[in-house]
Amino acid sequence: MTQKILYFYLTLLRHGETYENKYQVIQGHLDTDLSEVGLEQARSIRMHINGSKPDVVISSDLKRAIFTAYEVTDPFVVEVESRLRERNFGSLTGHPRSEVQKFTETNSKIGYECDGWRSIGGECIHEMANRTHNFLLDLCSRLVKTNMKHADVSRHDPFPIIGPSHLQPMKKLISKNLDIFPNDNADATELPIFIYAGHVLIVGHGGWIRQFLRLLAFHSKYKENFPKNCVNSVMNNCGICQVGVAFDTNSLKSYQENGCEVSTSPLPVFGDVIHNESFTNMKKVNQCPYFRLANPSLPLMTICYQFNITKSMLEKHQVDYPTFSTQETCSQEKNISTDDGDEYAGYPPNK
């Protein structure tokens, strides 16, 4: 059986500024509008987003993301997806960040049957990680179904990266790392078929995008060039991140049919590694129903090309994003700080 490796590019865009952003109010699932500044932020990067020619545009179903999507992609059709929503902060929604910081200081590591903090009626970080994971799998499956009919992209290898990059296009990187995609059923002399699945623009929220990047950076089988701040920091309003994703279509199918391979780290989204002996004791106190679902081991190859590119960087031609050595990236969870890195929990502190 000929091996088929599908690859695509993701552009992750945070919505424009809202008045709640400006005054440091927790939005979560609040359906807030863009401010005039937010509208201008979106319009100012339209040329760059349109120039990258996204094939599919998917937005959170909250207005601040939808309006941003239409401003940067007009006249594209925008699909809405509720799983792209910001974290639900429950009873803390609509409150100043300072109140959230006080709450987490009091309730840290209690979290109402979760080892991470959770407000009443809100989501814990594992629940958010689970819906992010499910969205990613559904997106990959969708691209397989819609692109398997296409031939090998040998003459035309699109590279929709905004600005220059030291990193090569995905097809070349895959060709250099074929050992990542073993295929016992293929003839040793037969080369795999490469299938380009397109360029997907996702317009979402700061916390959701950070969680999505944590998923790729911590749990992909092979990952490269994810800087530390991409998993601990929230991007600027209308900040841009670009990632390449590749996978063996049979491996993805097997992964979905056989279920997730669960790691032993209870809080991988925090970057905190806990060994088996400690994990046994922790299970007695951690009863979060989403706990184990937040620990996938994804059969993916993921490459981070750009992170938090802004209008000012584009104007100053400062988009030449350097590559990072393994020691400077989050390829290893132990290099990441052990708090949840959540700006809404007081990281970084309010100024």
Residue 264 labeled ligand binder: no
Residue 17 labeled ligand binder: yes
Instruction: Give the Cβ contact number of residue 172 at 10 Å.
Output: 12
Residue 214 labeled ligand binder: no
Active site residue 150: no
- Residues ≥6 apart with Cβ < 8 Å to 76: 54, 57
Q: How many CA atoms lie within 13 A of 186 on its CB side?
A: 16
Residue 15 labeled ligand binder: yes
Residue 307: helix, strand or coil by DSSP? strand
Decide: 345 and 92 in contact? Cβ < 8 Å. no
From 71, 86, 123, 333, the catalytic residue: 86
Active site residue 15: yes
Decide: 218 and 38 in contact? Cβ < 8 Å. no
Residue 105 labeled ligand binder: no
Tell me how far apart the alpha carbons of residues 18 and 64 are, in angstroms, rounded to a whole number. Answer: 7
Residue 166 labeled ligand binder: no
Residue 317 labeled ligand binder: no
Query: 35: which DSSP letter?
Result: -
Residue 346 labeled ligand binder: no
Q: Considering all CA atoms of the chain, what is the largest pairwise distance in Å, rounded to the nearest integer?
A: 62
Residue 16 labeled ligand binder: yes
Tell me how far apart the alpha carbons of residues 223 and 326 are, in angstroms, rounded to a whole number. Answer: 10
From the annotation, which residues make up the binding site?
Answer: 14-21, 64
Annotated binding site for substrate: 14-21, 64
Return the active site residues. Answer: 15, 86
